[in-house]
Amino acid sequence: MRLTLRIWRQKDRNDPGGLQTYQLDDANEHMSFLEMLDVLNQHLIEKGDEPVAFEHDCREGICGACSLVINGVAHGPLSKTTVCQLHMRFFHEGQTITIEPWRAKGFPVLRDLIVDRSSFDRIMQAGGFIDVRTGAAPDANAIPIAKPTSDLAMDAAECIGCGACVAACPNGSAMLFVAAKASHLNLLPQGLPEKARRARAMVKQMEAEGFGSCTNFAECEAQCPKGISINFIAKLNRDFMKASLFPQGGGGKREA
């Protein structure tokens, strides 16, 4: 399979960067997208050129490290798929493929296709946790939780923090990420005591990182590899409003 690859190259965050074109003649339809980039890099190394820097880890669709914008779409043309699980059979002979990093103020480019996503870590440090006493693990059935509530919390917990929601959003908003990470804790009894503080702290840190505001384009949901629903954004807005109006209030009643 012959391909024309237009790839963003950038030495560091101070370099203006730009798209460079490469010809690849030996791609295979059975390769994953990252394996195709591995082949390209091998050719570049053999010629004495600098290989393309891109991020990856598990290559199993679990970690979300393989964050690329492919032909203008975060994670590529398939829905609910990470780049590492995208295969070359979904492209065709002679196609031109443009590959870029995430584009957002909160994700500065470090090199080529790698961005700094430590802003997500700082958002989690602001409130994505619960304060509990350590010790022996409690019995799984010690705290009764309604099945619909536990299912909803698990849906939110599926977020892998890849940042596709930010890359897809015209505003560069991180609301879907923050909503998912806050909701999976706020829905469960262990997270209720800190619900108000968590909502305020995580939203405040998100704004400090320079992410945009949510205006309900819903591109985040469409491009999320785990299919996280924008309904969680509505829940976070509700939790944040209550926390702002009643800053001294408790976690509130359990909500679905």
pLDDT digits (tens, 9 = 90+) for 106-164: 999 999 999 999 999 999 999 999 887 767 877 767 888 999 999 999 999 999 999 99
Structure tokens at 118: 């430590």
d(Cα 149, Cα 155) in Å, to the nearest integer? 10
What are the chain's domains?
Answer: 3-111 (3.10.20.30), 118-245 (1.10.1060.10)
More confident residue, 248 or 62: 62
Predicted pLDDT of residue 137: 73
Res. 252: pLDDT tops 90: no
pLDDT digits (tens, 9 = 90+) for 88-105: 999 999 999 999 999 999
Question: Of 123-137, 165-179, 198-212, 215-229, where does mean pLDDT reach its minimum?
Answer: 123-137
Residue 82's closest CA among 160, 171, 157? Answer: 160
Res. 250: pLDDT tops 70: no
Predicted pLDDT of residue 248: 66
Q: For the chain, what percent of residues have pLDDT higher than 90?
A: 89
Predicted pLDDT of residue 132: 76
Question: What type of residue sits at position 229?
Answer: S
Q: For the chain, what percent of residues have pLDDT higher than 70?
A: 96
Q: How many CA atoms lie within 13 A of 170 on its CB side?
A: 5
Structure tokens at 77: 């043309």
> Residue 248: which residues within 8 A CB-CB, separation 6 or more?
none
DSSP of 58-123: -SSSSS-----EETTEET-SSTT--GGG-BGGGS-TT-EEEEE----TTS-EEETTEE--HHHHHH
Residue 213: band (very low, low, confident or very high) from pLDDT cuts 50, 70, 90: very high
pTM for the complete prediction?
A: 0.91
Residue 3: band (very low, low, confident or very high) from pLDDT cuts 50, 70, 90: very high
Predicted pLDDT of residue 139: 79
H helices, E strands: number in the chain: 8, 7
CA-CA-CA-CA dihedral for 223, 226, 227, 228, to nearest 10: -100
pLDDT digits (tens, 9 = 90+) for 28-70: 999 999 999 999 999 999 999 999 999 999 999 999 999 999 9
Q: How many CB atoms lie within 10 A of CB 245?
A: 9
8 Å CB contact between 222 and 209 = no
> Residue 253: which residues within 8 A CB-CB, separation 6 or more?
none
Torsions phi, psi for 115 (to 5 deg):
-115, 160
